[in-house]
Amino acid sequence: MTDVQKLKQEFLEYLEIEKGRSLKTVENYDRYLTRFFGQADIKKPLDITDEAIRAYRLWLNRQSSGQTGQNAKKAVRGLGGDTLKKNTQNYYLIALRGFLKYLARRGIPSLAPERIELAKAPARELDLMTEVELGRLLKAPEGNDEKALRDRAILALLFSTGLRVSELCSLSRDSIDLSRDEFSVRGKGEKVRLVFLSDEARQALKNYLDNRKDLGEAMFTSMSKINQKTEQLTPRSVERIIKKYAVKAGIPKKVTPHTLRHSFATDLLQNGADIRSVQMMLGHANVSTTQIYTHVTDKHLRDVHKKFHGKKS
């Protein structure tokens, strides 16, 4: 194992143990750094130079979204095609900057992490549902069988709490006390936060749990039993469930669990909640992440436009 490879492994272990990052995040960082070390021929920390970073960024910017696999090094191309998005390029750079910060923390000479500037990415666009579409989606699961009750509870809980789909799937039956209107959830970076139940979500959960026939520990389970075992729903399964009901509700746009998280945030902001409170309820580490919602929720600007635009003096 080369010097830089050993340091990379120690960095990944540091992310997992000291920083509490998820295994998926650690895997992604491993992939991003491995790609950089291979492309830039990095053998030791001092090989990471401004010129190596510049050449790597140019290479990244010329890759198509399908050319960053094992054969990516052979696929350097010119302009055109479906190139990597700036946000995706930044993931590579953030991993590298984190590695350099780790080296600096250990006193190992290398490039200063602040030498790496992230690419300027376009503002994120939110494909939000209208209030009418949201209402249709929440009512789409019809009937009183266990599956319909489960699906209504999933939709109501996502909109009531703003949970990430991974957080929803990790819930157990004893995660939520229905006599209370709040419960704790462990989110990204193992950070715990409070989320809150609406009356509608509490009732939907109660109806579902009262009709559960199995004794499984998971809050949401698959209706198809494999070997008579109760299977916990996966994020992919929840995505398929929501897609099915969006089609049934006649919603033409793509609807995902994250769309309901967006609806949760914009509903709060449109009704007067402050950005910091919404940040805490979403579990965002930085308020800048939450600010993607403000441009679609600023009622004051809309009111000013209506009051003053196109008026004759």
- CA 99 to CA 13: how far, in whole Å? 12
Q: Is 132 helix (H, G, I), strand (E, B) or coil?
A: helix
- Amino acid present at 154: I
Kindly give the residue spans of alpha helices, DSSP state H, lying in the chain: 3-17, 23-40, 50-61, 86-105, 131-139, 146-161, 165-169, 199-210, 235-248, 257-270, 275-282, 287-290, 299-308
In a domain, 299, yes or no: yes
The confidence score (pLDDT) of residue 72 equals 43
In a domain, 309, yes or no: no
The confidence score (pLDDT) of residue 61 equals 86
In a domain, 32, yes or no: yes
In a domain, 225, yes or no: yes
Q: What angle do CA 25, 23, 183 make, to 5 degrees?
A: 90
Q: In the predicted model, is pLDDT for residue 7 greater than 90?
A: yes
**Both 109 and 185 in a single domain?**
no
**Both 149 and 284 in a single domain?**
yes
- CA 31 to CA 25: how far, in whole Å? 10
In a domain, 54, yes or no: yes
Q: Which of 63, 82, 115 is the last residue of a domain?
A: 115
For residues 270 and 303, the model is more confident at: 270
**Residues of the chain above pLDDT 90, percent:** 58
**Both 86 and 194 in a single domain?**
no
CATH classification at residue 260: 1.10.443.10
How many CA atoms are closer than 13 Å to the CA of 204, on its beta-carbon side?
26
CA-closest candidate to residue 147, choices 83, 212, 210: 212
- CA 129 to CA 257: how far, in whole Å? 12
The confidence score (pLDDT) of residue 258 equals 92
| The length of the chain, given as a count of residues | 313
Each residue of 82-121: pLDDT tens digit? 577 888 899 999 999 999 999 999 999 999 999 998 877 6
What's the rounded mean pLDDT across residues 110-136?
84
In a domain, 65, yes or no: yes
The model carries a pTM of 0.67
**Both 222 and 284 in a single domain?**
yes
Give the domain extent around 30: 3-115
**Both 277 and 140 in a single domain?**
yes
Each residue of 16-61: pLDDT tens digit? 998 888 888 899 999 999 999 999 999 999 999 999 999 999 998 8
Q: How many domains does the chain have?
A: 2
Neighbours of 282 (CB within 10 A): 22
**Both 30 and 149 in a single domain?**
no
| Those residues with Cβ within 8 angstroms of residue 185's Cβ, 6 or more apart along the chain or in another chain | 161, 163, 167, 171, 175, 192, 193, 195, 283
CATH classification at residue 21: 1.10.150
- CA 305 to CA 90: how far, in whole Å? 36
DSSP state of 229: B
**Both 173 and 24 in a single domain?**
no
**Both 169 and 269 in a single domain?**
yes
The confidence score (pLDDT) of residue 74 equals 40
Which residues form the catalytic set?
A: 164, 188, 258, 261, 284, 293
> H-helix or E-strand containing 196?
strand 192-196
**Residues of the chain above pLDDT 70, percent:** 86
**Both 195 and 234 in a single domain?**
yes
**Both 171 and 65 in a single domain?**
no
- CA 186 to CA 180: how far, in whole Å? 18
**Both 81 and 141 in a single domain?**
no
The confidence score (pLDDT) of residue 68 equals 53
**Both 218 and 289 in a single domain?**
yes
Q: Which of 115, 145, 176 is the last residue of a domain?
A: 115
In a domain, 202, yes or no: yes
In a domain, 31, yes or no: yes
Q: In the predicted model, is pLDDT for residue 67 greater than 70?
A: no
Each residue of 152-206: pLDDT tens digit? 999 999 999 999 999 999 999 989 999 988 999 988 877 889 999 999 999 999 9
